[in-house]
A = this chain, B = another copy of it.
């Protein structure tokens, strides 16, 4: 079902924190002309946790209306409650989304045992009209989904893949080994794209692909062509800027990088804060060293 490189797109805001649809449209048009296989709306990089339900619906509608429909659109539909996640998944299916990306519920960390998490995903998958991709993101949720849980969930016909942002390459390998044959394992961060491909990942959903979509796609191509040494060089080359726009300085840095690369990052929404001048400089320097700007 899903394969290749996706990017979890940012949500540009205006100074008054309203969604900046002008910038949104321009970005969508640009990404639509790249080699990307698709995008994820309302992912972690889309600041989905800061949007009201109404804003989310508007944003999904707008995206579906303005993005290249030869590519896929996956929507992050996570809510803490099962019923709200189901409701929103149905809504985005009606709007025309190709799939949903769903985090485990995670507020009551101590109570989120595997049996409960299993049931949550099954309940959502049962009622969701479009394919469901699991989103494992322990850095933000504080909860890791084990490879054995994922393998069990992969048996459900409507659970078609996982975006694993744990960074645990052994876990990712085990999923590749144990999950259903058609299950799509996606790397969740460009820091380990090549290693993930070597152990069976079928694609990746990468914040970095917001700003360097072609290079992310090229790394996959090099791997497929067996050009491992070149793939390795590219993998090592992207590490620095990837670190800055993800675990380093996060979404504010990703938005700065978009601005520097003729995309439109826009503002962040509070509590996030704009990047300080010295950190903007670090991002700019890294992009220069990379060769993405002069």
Closest to A109 in B: B140
Contacting pair A83 B269 (CB below 8 A)? yes
Closest to A82 in B: B270
Contacting pair A177 B50 (CB below 8 A)? no
Within 8 Å of chain B (Cβ to Cβ): is A195? yes
Task: Provide the bound-state CA to CA distance between A200 and B195, in Å.
Answer: 11
Residues of B within 8 A of A231 (CB): 198
Q: Give min CB distance, A108 to chain B, whole Å.
A: 6
Task: Give per-residue flags for A105-135: 1 if the beta carbon is below 8 A from chain B beta carbons, else 0.
Answer: 1011111100111011001000000000000
Residues of B within 8 A of A68 (CB): none
Closest to A142 in B: B142
Q: Give min CB distance, A97 to chain B, whole Å.
A: 21
Residues of chain A touching chain B, judged by Cβ–Cβ distance below 8 Å, are 17, 44, 49-53, 80-84, 105, 107-112, 115-117, 119-120, 123, 139-140, 142, 167-170, 173-174, 176-177, 189, 191-192, 194-196, 198-200, 226, 228, 231-232, 235-236, 239, 243, 247, 249-252, 269-273
Q: Give min CB distance, A253 to chain B, whole Å.
A: 10
Task: Provide the bound-state CA to CA distance between A126 and B213, in Å.
Answer: 42
Closest to A174 in B: B239
Of the listed residues A194, A235, A250, A272, the one surrounded by the most CB atoms of chain B closer than 10 A to its CB is A272
Closest to A147 in B: B239
Residues of B within 8 A of A270 (CB): 81-83, 119-120, 123
Residues of B within 8 A of A189 (CB): 170
Contacting pair A110 B139 (CB below 8 A)? yes
